[in-house]
């Protein structure tokens, strides 16, 4: 969706000594911004993105993305930047991050904690697909889009979507086998049915209401009316 411009400086942090071993103290690792990351300049964003090729991680497994690089803000994580990083356990984003690209962290099976920034606007398709150790996340109020299969097959147990103009795309949370609780804030447009989750099974199989609603989407109608008028639908329905 975004065209990457030509980086005005080399993509690797010049201050990094490739031969230097990461610190042995996990506590110190969490306090330090992760060095040795690859960066791409984004003309339209007027900032840098952490990009594919960022393979060096501290032994603690904590990735702390810096807020600035070469005097400009770090605004994004591009697609596939950290996919299938088995040693990754925690990600801390700076408040400057606006979007996370598709498959950025897909298949990071040991990723258990993600701290999203307040300024985050978009989580791309498959961004956290298959992160089976990720059991809980907090979405910022300003988030506008969660992409297709963004958290599918993850370890999430509960979800709360805050009030706002958030669009949850199709299949965003399918096959989350531990997911038992989901709540929606006002204004959320949900296109995802959460198939393959205990919460979905309970909602679709055990609920006796005529209208089965997920967020602002009508999932099923169980009544016997042959025709429905607009006024017959529950308030707040935005899609069927």
Q: Average pLDDT per run of 10 along the chain, which is 240 residues long? A: 44 42 47 83 95 80 94 96 93 97 97 95 98 95 96 96 91 94 85 83 69 65 68 65
Angle at 107 between CA 113 and CA 188, to 5 degrees: 60
Contacts of 57 (CB under 8 A, 6+ apart): 22, 34, 63, 85, 87, 88
Nearest CA to 104 among 140, 95, 122? 122
Question: Do 91 and 110 contact (CB within 8 A), yes or no?
Answer: no
CA 66 – CA 32 distance, rounded (Å): 9
pTM for this predicted structure: 0.78
Residue 236 pLDDT: 65
As a whole number of angstroms, the distance between CA 102 and CA 27 comes to 30
> Residue 213 has what pLDDT?
67
Q: Identify the pLDDT of residue 202.
A: 78
């Amino acid at each position: 969706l975004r065209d990457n411009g030509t980086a005005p400086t080399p993509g690797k942090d010049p201050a990094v000594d490739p031969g230097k071993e990461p610190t042995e103290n996990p506590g110190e690792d969490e306090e330090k911004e992760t060095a040795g990351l690859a960066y791409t300049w984004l003309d339209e964003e007027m900032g840098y993105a952490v990009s594919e090729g960022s393979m060096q991680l501290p032994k603690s497994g904590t990735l702390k993305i810096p807020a600035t690089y070469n005097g400009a803000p770090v605004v994004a994580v591009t697609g596939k930047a950290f996919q299938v990083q088995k040693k990754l356990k925690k990600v801390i984003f700076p408040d400057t991050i606006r979007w996370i690209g598709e498959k950025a962290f897909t298949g990071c099976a040991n990723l258990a904690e993600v701290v999203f920034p307040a300024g985050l606007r978009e989580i791309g398709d498959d961004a956290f697909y298959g992160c089976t150790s990720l059991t809980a996340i907090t979405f910022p109020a300003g988030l506008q889009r969660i992409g297709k299969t963004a958290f599918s097959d993850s370890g999430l147990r509960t979800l709360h979507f805050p009030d706002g103009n958030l669009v949850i795309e199709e299949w965003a949370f399918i096959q989350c086998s531990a997911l038992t609780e989901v709540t929606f804030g006002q204004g959320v447009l949900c296109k995802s049915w959460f198939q393959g989750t205990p919460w979905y099974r309970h909602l679709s199989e055990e609920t006796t209401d005529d209208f089965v609603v997920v967020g602002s989407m009508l999932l099923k109608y169980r009544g016997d009316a042959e025709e429905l008028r607009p006024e017959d639908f529950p308030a707040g329905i935005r899609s069927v």
